[in-house]
Amino acid sequence: MELSYLIYQLIIGLSYSMLLFLISSGLTIIFGLLNIPNFAHGTLYMLGAYFTYFFLHSLPGASFVVAIILAVIAVGVIGAFLEYVPLRKIYERSHALQLLMTFSFILMLDDATKYFAGTDFLSIATPKLMAGSFTLPGDREMPVYSLFIILCGLVVAYLLWLGLYKTRLGKLVQAGTANKEMLSALGINVPRLFTLVFVLGAVLAGLAGGLAGPLKAVSVGMGETIIITIFAIVIVGGVGSLKGAFIASILVGELNTFGVVFFPSFAMAFTYILVILVLLTKPEGLFRIK
Amino acid sequence: MAKKKITRRAFVKVVGSGALVAGAATFGVPTLLRASSKPIKFGQLNTTSGIMASQGVPGMRGAQIAQEIINQAGGIMGRKLELVQEDDQVKPSVGVRKFRKLVLEDKVDFVFGTNSSGVGLACVPLANEFKKIFISTSMSDKYTGSNCSPYVFRIGESTSMASKASAYCMVANEPGIKKWAGINPDYVFGHESWDFFKKGMKEKKHPVEIVKESYSPFGSQDYKPYITALLESKAEGVFTSLWTGDLINFIKQAKPFGFFDKVKAFVNNTTSFATAIGLGDQMVPFWGEARYYPFYRDTEINRKYISMYRKKFDGYPGADVGAECFATVMALKLAIEKAGTTDTPKVIAALEGLEFEVPEGKKWIRPEDHSGIDEVVLLGKFHRDSKYPFWVYDPKTYFTVPGKEIAMPLDQTGCKMAKP
Amino acid sequence: MSLLEVRTVSKSFGKLQAVSELELSIDEGEVRCIIGANGAGKTTLFNLISGRIQPDSGQVVFAGEEISGMRPPQIVRKGLSRSFQVSNYFPNLSVFQNVRIAVLSRMRKSRIFYWPVSRLRDVNQRVGELLENFNLLSLAEVTADKLSHGDRRKLEISLVVAQEPRMLLLDEPTAGMNSTETESTIRLIKDLVTRLGLTLLLTEHDMKVVFSLADKITFMHYGQVVCEGPPEEIKANQDVKEIYLGGEVC
Amino acid sequence: MPSKPQTLQNPIIWFLVSLVILWAAPLFLPTFYVYLITEILIVSLFAVSTNVLLGFTGLLSFGQVAFFGSSAYAVSLLIKGTSLPFAASFFISVGLSALAALIIGLFCMRLRAFYFAILTLAFSQIFFVVAYKWTSLTGGDDGIVGIPKKPFFLFDINGPDAYYHFVLLVVMVSLALLYLIIRSPLGEVLQAIRDNSERTEFLGLQVRNYRLASFVIAGTFGGVAGALFAPFQGIVTPELLHWSHSAEPLMISLLGGMYFFFGPIAGAVIFVFIKEWITGFTEYWMFWYGLLLMLLIMYLPGGIMGFISEHIRRGKDGPK
């Protein structure tokens, strides 16, 4: 197999990786600081897609970008509600109970979506500017939108890195992820910080949902089809580690791409094999937050 | 084995007969019969929650429309038709539990439905155990093959029919294409579809070079590696049995690669018309094969089905399963009337060889294996039509195969049915 | 003959040198007390000896056998048990059950899965004795996390004693106890040592406790041993006085 | 508890009384409920076995379906593919799940908390993929259809009542064994590990070995439940091995009260009935079901048994 084809696949895989990173970054931050394994994270991603569709079609003249921004806000509001009302009650409980709680969110949000939007598939058009592709040597096409997703992933990664490492708030989140007691010792309003971080995570999921719109059938249940992959990424990367989520997203995305090229019949098992291999060698993920 | 003749007389006008029965129920029927005005109960299993709700919900709706038509016309032999609908959650274990509930608790007379063969096949042993008729609305050939039973029917197209019809259509319309590739879902249906497509090509003695065979897991998020691999194989024609969300995801991700320009023919054997509705103006030109295509037959029953569906549910009746469930309810009604009773063995006998017309067209149930056989199976190539907010088949490309021609020959079904 | 020997053991956490090239030797039957300010490395030393953490360099030898590198359960099986500074018990189990875990382990009956634990007469009898010794019998049925602070400390020590070790490491056994509780605990420990001939290594802030128990005192500062000797000697040591909170020691 | 009087709460008496009542149940109940209770019994056993890990060892495993499902597949293949008597197939299948639990357990024991959960999930998903893809053996997603209920030793277990009685006996014996294990020294050590694994180590107990034992026990009895389930349904499909099916016994244990041996049983009864009822009355059952779950977690975090025992305790303390 020629080198240019491999590089081509590498870039194709990267666009999937970056989409995965957009979703998993939010989950890993929430899981790291709040210590809540939010099973409904995929559902927030779904809501991002639905809201984008809704704003795109209900506001006359709304552009894709405007629709996504509005959708992200809407998902953020829902995230704030989920954190503020039910989740706050169970911070001290076991992971199992927290999982069950967030599972109940999935049930409710899925059915509410079904009630308002129906069960038919919806489809978000690729914005005209990005609908085309570049033709590469060898008569290969590189879709503009795939490159756009890569760009979005890198920009979000950079902004999160800035936010987490260069601002006071980010440093608090870092400190809190490593050591919960430290936050209250520093006199921080912990509940407010938690709400803020949960909303940030929800916003990232919503953004990913909106950006995934042009690549996917928007449908109820699209969150459940991706959530295990996202959890796998967070765990492989190390809970709470942004760098870990970034690297693990690339691993999963590229593994999926090259796996399909070289070992297509194992496609269903790729992610799980990766999880097993990583956890057996690094029981706390690639990048452990101390 | 003697083939059963289809006589013109035997095609029953569903609506007309309904009206007749309604009249009979009110005036002509002896009091003895009228006294048993207990409703006739049909139990239905389909998926109304989760990712497969896009299939199951229209299935429920299709049956509800049939029920409304029947009851407005006076019911079945003067008895009201009652539907008991249950969500199978696409889980065979739930399907089994709900089947038992329908039979034992709700005391339904007949059971039908399912939009996944996993659930449907799980119901087969129960139908045998409870000696209840079960009519499947999912596509597996096994209902009328290795798992066939006196109590089990499948009145819609099967996987083999849909796949072979796709092959025939390609041989007829794209005879120049020799290099074929497949992208199919990585489960039984996908593998069978691809095998039957190749078989269909062989039957037509079409020289085929298979340049790529790929299978993607159900619910794949990223089809780009499959797409680039297909393009790299330089296939001229691509067959797929992806369906529902998977098909939409594939199409949306393939489009920017110029896939539908580079590949001369793309043919799909399970194009629920809901796909076209879902994609709207982002649709691409490809060959579709649907069990139900709303705009082909301008028959009274089809018009009625579409108009009632649109009025009741605000949307087009795109999904196959909707029409399939509608057809099933109608077939059962006719069989009950033909048998004059809801007694299972007699209704089985009445269903065997039944000919009827539904929105999907005219159908006949082959007695030997209980397989429904359409008068014709239709394919067409999607194009933009300003009359509709979505793409439809280009009428110039309509391609039909007589159902009997592609029905699995009786000696190949593997069905050994012991009559009850 | 020395029972426990710590040979040039060092441990650092990042830039912090918690214990550096520490040497310690404790004879069989001796009661040794380690004193020093907070952060002197006492608890780290305990963790190193008991296998909770591994030394960066050096060795820990117990009864002639190297135990550094072993996991805690193995070390316990050799006869070296420890208590914790912050009470460390089983919060959702009753006091009785808490002690029973230790007794089951000691009597090698923890693997029995085919017989109710409530029917193991010898085990339950032993638990009863221990609770009686520690004045906890009236609280036997109370869930451990409902105990008062002093009772938790008693439970903590009873868990260690229940293992009948050759050597006992007690990390501030009387921390947070009131004076009567402290007195009775000291009496208990003294009694145990004399009755069972135990070797005892403990850290303690309360100098009354230290001087009434210790045969020998080791004074630690910044992860190193500053001086070592019988109580009177330490009492008189000028360094200790200076470093350790001025004259408060005596 | 050691010092409590055992007369009123002798578990053997309770065991016999409930066995007799349940044995007679088909005399009074319509067939559908016989099926439903059969299912509840099997689900209860699966949940109680899972709860040995969750509630009594403090391990959140998402992989318990691997043992339930592999046993269900094994028993189906043995029944359909060999002439072995059912009893032999049954015990071989259970043995296989125990072996699978031992092997997977050895790999997973190093991991803590959620990492453990995800690793067990990954392993069980490998089982799922195998069942899904090895079509020639397992029938792929269509599964193995038509598993007959062959006689168990000399007992004919065909028919709903007969199979119910068979399930009842096996489940009651299994529950009795599990109860014994939980009340045994081993069970007490497991609870100690749940409460404080580090302290358990400092009492001279190799936590990893006990956790592994717990994992094998849970896997074995999960396997018993699976081997009962396959002939009951007459079909096995990969659904039984999917991770989402692992969530069910966890949910049942939490709802019922995971710190109580009988919690999962209470959970199973309520869970199956609520779900049956709620899915029957509305297409939007998921919403109402989700809302109910959320409220239960918010207001009864200790589960049903936790709530009841709290009230009993309050009732006792009240007059003082």
The angle at the Cα of C211, spanning C209 to C214, to the nearest 5 degrees, equals 95
**Cβ <8 Å between D199 and C89:** yes
Residue owning tokens 């009206």: B19
Q: What percent of chain B has pLDDT over 90?
A: 76
Crossing angle between the packed helical segments D285-299 and D263-281, to the nearest 10 degrees: 150
Long-range contacts of the stretch B32-37 (C-beta < 8 A, 24+):
B33/B77, B33/B78, B34/B78, B36/B79, B37/B78, B37/B79, B37/B80
> C94 contacts in D (CB within 8 Å)?
1
Closest partner residue to D119 (CB to CB) among A107, A108, A275 is A275
**Cβ <8 Å between B226 and A260:** yes
Beta strand residue intervals within chain D, DSSP E: 144-145, 235-236
The structural domain count of chain A equals: 1
Residue owning tokens 């290969």: A140
Q: Provide CB contacts within 8 A for C106, sequence distance 6+.
A: C162, C163, C164, D204
Cα(D52)–Cα(D249) distance, rounded to whole angstroms?
Answer: 11
Mean pLDDT of B18-31: 43
User: Quick one: C208 and C247 in the same domain?
Assistant: yes
Which amino acid would we find at residue B411?
D
What is the reported pLDDT for B419? Answer: 64
Task: Dig out the tokens for D243 from the structure.
Answer: 């991770």
Name, of B32-46, C169-183, C225-239, D17-31, the range with top average pLDDT: D17-31
Residue owning tokens 């906890």: C136
Helix (H) or strand (E) holding C56: none
| Exposed / middle / buried, residue D47 (Cβ in 10 Å: 0-12, 13-18, 19+) | buried
Task: Dig out the tokens for B263 from the structure.
Answer: 């590949």
Q: Give pLDDT tens digits along chain D (320 positions).
A: 444 444 556 788 888 999 999 999 999 999 999 999 999 999 999 999 999 999 999 999 999 999 999 999 999 999 999 999 999 999 999 999 999 999 999 999 989 889 999 999 999 999 999 999 998 999 888 899 889 998 888 888 888 899 999 999 999 999 999 999 999 999 999 999 999 999 999 999 999 999 999 999 999 999 999 999 999 998 999 999 998 889 899 999 999 999 999 999 999 999 888 888 888 777 888 999 999 999 999 898 889 998 988 888 776 654 43
Instruction: Say which range, A246-255, C131-140, D212-221, D225-234, has the weakest mean pLDDT.
Output: C131-140
**Cβ <8 Å between C81 and D189:** no
What is the model's pTM?
0.91
Domain boundaries, chain B: 40-157+297-374, 160-290+378-404
Interface test with B, best of D34, D142, D282 (most B CBs within 10 A): D142
The structural domain count of chain D equals: 1
What is the reported pLDDT for D317? Answer: 56
Mean pLDDT of A10-17: 94
> B140 contacts in D (CB within 8 Å)?
142
Q: What is the CA radius of gyration of chain A?
A: 19
Which range of residues forms the domain containing residue D122?
6-241
The structural domain count of chain C equals: 2
Tell me how far CA of residue B37 lies from CA of B25, B40, B77, C107, in angstroms. 10, 9, 9, 77
Task: Dig out the tokens for D251 from the structure.
Answer: 């949910």
Closest partner residue to B222 (CB to CB) among A16, A217, A258 is A16
In this complex, whether B and C touch, counting 3 or more CB pairs under 8 angstroms, is: no
DSSP label at residue B365: E
Crossing angle between the packed helical segments D285-299 and D243-256, to the nearest 10 degrees: 50
Q: Are C104 and D188 in contact (CB under 8 A)?
A: yes
Beta strand residue intervals within chain A, DSSP E: 122-123, 133-136, 140-143, 217-218
Query: In this complex, is the C-beta atom of D134 within 8 Å of any C-beta atom belonging to chain A?
Result: no
Query: In this complex, is the C-beta atom of D213 within 8 Å of any C-beta atom belonging to chain C?
Result: yes
pLDDT-based confidence at C141, cuts 50/70/90?
very high
Evaluate whether residue D97 is within a structural domain.
Answer: yes
**Cβ <8 Å between B93 and D133:** no
Q: Provide CB contacts within 8 A for C230, sequence distance 6+.
A: C215, C216, C217
**Cβ <8 Å between B54 and A120:** yes
User: Quick one: C62 and C182 in the same domain?
Assistant: yes
Q: Which residue has the higher pLDDT, B416 or B103?
A: B103
Residue owning tokens 């085919």: C114
Which range of residues forms the domain containing residue A50?
3-227
User: Quick one: C91 and C151 in the same domain?
Assistant: yes
Helical H segments across B255-298, by residue range: 259-262, 273-279
Q: Provide CB contacts within 8 A for D315, sequence distance 6+.
A: none
Whose CA is closest to A255, among A272, A234, A270, A239? A270
pLDDT tens sequence across B145-172: 988 999 999 999 999 999 999 999 999 9
The CATH fold assigned to B160-290+378-404 is: Rossmann fold (3.40.50)
Bridge-based pairing of strands B110-113 and B40-46 is parallel
* Residue B178 φ then ψ, to 5°: -110, -35
- CB count within 10 Å of CB D191 equals 20
pLDDT-based confidence at B3, cuts 50/70/90?
very low
Evaluate whether residue A244 is within a structural domain.
Answer: no
Q: How many CB pairs under 8 A join A and B?
A: 130
B40-157+297-374 and B160-290+378-404 agree in CATH topology: yes
Asked whether the ipTM of the predicted complex exceeds the cut of 0.95, the reply is no
Whose CA is closest to B375, among B161, B212, B134? B161
Distance, first Cα to last Cα, chain A: 43
Instruction: Say which range, B62-66, B393-397, C70-74, D308-312, has the weakest mean pLDDT.
Output: D308-312
Cα(B170)–Cα(B265) distance, rounded to whole angstroms?
Answer: 8
Mean pLDDT of A163-183: 83
Is the pLDDT at A278 greater than 80, yes or no? yes
pLDDT tens sequence across B62-77: 999 999 999 999 999 9
Interface test with B, best of D37, D279, D289 (most B CBs within 10 A): D279
Give buried/exposed letters for D102-120 (b at 16+ CB in 10 A, else e): eebbeebbebebbbbbbbb
Cα(A268)–Cα(C128) distance, rounded to whole angstroms?
Answer: 57
Instruction: Say which range, A206-220, B27-41, B324-338, has the weakest mean pLDDT.
Output: B27-41
Long-range contacts of the stretch C43-47 (C-beta < 8 A, 24+):
C43/C85, C43/C171, C43/C203, C44/C11, C44/C18, C44/C19, C44/C223, C45/C6, C45/C9, C45/C19, C45/C220, C46/C82, C46/C169, C46/C171, C46/C203
**Cβ <8 Å between A285 and D115:** yes
Which amino acid would we find at residue C159?
L
Evaluate whether residue D247 is within a structural domain.
Answer: no
Q: Are B104 and B68 in contact (CB under 8 A)?
A: no
Is the pLDDT at A248 greater than 90, yes or no? yes
**Cβ <8 Å between D119 and A108:** no
Interface test with A, best of D116, D119, D138 (most A CBs within 10 A): D119
Closest partner residue to B51 (CB to CB) among A118, A225, A268 is A225
What is the reported pLDDT for D9? Answer: 67
Q: Provide CB contacts within 8 A for C240, sequence distance 6+.
A: C35, C219, C226, C227, C234, C249
What is the reported pLDDT for B336? Answer: 95
Beta strand residue intervals within chain C, DSSP E: 2-13, 16-27, 31-35, 57-62, 65-66, 80-82, 167-171, 199-203, 216-221, 224-229
For residue B393, give the 3-state DSSP assignment: strand
Cα-Cα-Cα-Cα dihedral of B262, B263, B268, B273, to 10°? 30
pLDDT-based confidence at B108, cuts 50/70/90?
very high
Q: Which of C136, C164, C192 is the last residue of a domain?
A: C164
Which range of residues forms the domain containing residue C147?
87-164
Interface test with D, best of C62, C111, C163 (most D CBs within 10 A): C111
Helix (H) or strand (E) holding A157: helix A144-166
Evaluate whether residue D229 is within a structural domain.
Answer: yes
**Cβ <8 Å between A264 and B215:** yes
Evaluate whether residue A115 is within a structural domain.
Answer: yes
For residue C13, give the 3-state DSSP assignment: strand
What is the reported pLDDT for B354? Answer: 95
User: Quick one: C69 and C181 in the same domain?
Assistant: yes
Residue owning tokens 């429920």: B60
Q: How many CB pairs under 8 A join A and D?
A: 119
- Domain covering B40-157+297-374: architecture: 3-Layer(aba) Sandwich (3.40)
Task: Name residues 75-94 of chain C within 8 A of D (Cβ).
Answer: 76-77, 81-82, 84, 88-94
Cα(A251)–Cα(A241) distance, rounded to whole angstroms?
Answer: 15
Is the pLDDT at C247 greater than 70, yes or no? no
CATH number at residue C12: 3.40.50.300
For residue B76, give the 3-state DSSP assignment: strand
pLDDT-based confidence at B29, cuts 50/70/90?
very low
User: Quick one: C30 and C68 in the same domain?
Assistant: yes
pLDDT-based confidence at C16, cuts 50/70/90?
confident
> D271 contacts in B (CB within 8 Å)?
none
Whose CA is closest to D252, among D41, D73, D57? D41
Q: Provide CB contacts within 8 A for B109, sequence distance 6+.
A: B40, B41, B42, B132, B342, B344
**Cβ <8 Å between D35 and B104:** yes
Evaluate whether residue A212 is within a structural domain.
Answer: yes
**Cβ <8 Å between B51 and A220:** yes
What are B381's strand-pairing partners? Answer: B287
Average pLDDT, chain B: 88
pLDDT-based confidence at A186, cuts 50/70/90?
confident
Query: In this complex, is the C-beta atom of B83 within 8 Å of any C-beta atom belonging to chain D?
Result: no
Closest partner residue to D203 (CB to CB) among C71, C105, C127 is C105
User: Quick one: C75 and C171 in the same domain?
Assistant: yes
